[in-house]
Chain A
């Protein structure tokens, strides 16, 4: 499965959305801040090969396009996230698309509260369908080392695959909690110029400059099936980075593309 996420900054980006999906052979594409983009045009220009799943109005932060062959159902909606089930090439996934609250209007604790609801809904869905091929993708508005990602009672995500392979659970205050795996460290690279997805030269005392707000987390079942993860830097010859920063005329976020293999079992 080739899964894609892009925060479109509410710009009119139909042309770039179509080109990115086609160039990257995307199966499932999720978008945040998408209201400036005409998705009717997107679907027309994709020649009817893709369908849109907009839910029932419970979430206006995320929308999803997928190939016609992908069987998609909206299972749970909340303002900040939608939980879908998608069957891609005969493999069934739980996919959560999210756009968490940003600073300075919100803070880490607001995001953690939201994350606990997301994890609750994921646990319910995984138990209901007895399927833990779960992918969480989106704009987390925090970095891979942030408490929201790492903390045991938040996403409980580890940054090294061996940690989840060795033990899928962590015990916290007497309760066993299932981990997520965040593959980002495998793919951030000076050599490949993959620094992050959002450039912000903050004036505070410790600017990070490049942030990886756009991330993907997976359960153990998918941890060793991640073939690639990439922040796309160019669409049809148009560079998305100008000098060292993101060229904000299209979006202030780089698109995230993740390829997940079927694995040996299927």
Chain B
């Protein structure tokens, strides 16, 4: 029988997903241009055990099968090895503008190791820039374009300006 496997050496190299470092760079950039008056927080939305935090990972309920009730039996030869599927699971990262008293969630990044990724942008911003939430982003350049549109939107500028005014007042 002929081999059903593709020619692995011929495979085109996939673009490396640099979305996290791109966004982290923008966090530092905001800190620089506002001289620390406004911060951006970019962090994984983590599930923390404990009753008050039961819904801290609001996206986890989208999968009915993420529950511990559906644990897979691991064979001996696979035990202790890293499950590469974890790399492809979507992880949520929030991007928020904040100061001491206030925060505004600009978007949530649905991140996976390989493209495509997607954003869930604040409704007002997504309407303004005509970005359809969940729309696939296929490359680092495409992400940079969307981020630029988000950061240049009237709504983000208004929020940032008001936060800057507040910090000057204090």
Contact = CB atoms under 8 A, between A and B. Distances in A.
Interface of A: 55-58, 60, 73-80, 116-117, 119-120, 123-124, 126-127, 132, 153, 169, 173-178
A173 B69 contact: yes
Contacts of B116: none
A256 B102 CA distance: 28
Contacts of B54: 123, 169, 175-178
Contact of A120 (B58, B68, B158, B163): B58
B55 interface: yes
A178 B51 contact: yes
Nearest to A77: B104
A127 B51 CA distance: 10
A123 B56 contact: yes
Nearest to A130: B52
A78 to B, nearest CB: 6
Interface of B: 45, 51-56, 58-59, 61, 67-69, 101-105, 122-124, 155, 158-159, 162-163, 166
B55 A75 contact: no
A115 to B, nearest CB: 9
A177 B55 contact: yes
B104 A174 contact: no
B122 A58 contact: yes
B122 A79 contact: yes
B101 A127 contact: no
29 contacts: A56-B102, A56-B158, A58-B124, A58-B159, A73-B102, A75-B101, A76-B102, A77-B102, A78-B105, A116-B55, A116-B58, A116-B59, A117-B58, A119-B55, A120-B55, A120-B58, A123-B52, A123-B55, A123-B56, A124-B56, A126-B52, A127-B52, A132-B52, A153-B55, A153-B61, A169-B54, A174-B69, A176-B51, A178-B51
Contacts of B122: 58, 78-79
Contacts of B104: 56, 58, 76-78
A126 to B, nearest CB: 6
A156 to B, nearest CB: 8
Contacts of B68: 174
A120 B101 CA distance: 17
Given A56-B163, A117-B58, A173-B67, A74 B51 contact: no
Contact of B123 (A73, A75, A79, A124): A79
Nearest to B106: A58
Among the interface residues B68, B69, B123, which one has the most CB atoms of the partner chain A within 10 A? B123
Contacts of A123: 52-56
Contact of B159 (A57, A80, A176): A57
A200 to B, nearest CB: 24
A76 B45 CA distance: 16
Contacts of B61: 116, 153, 173
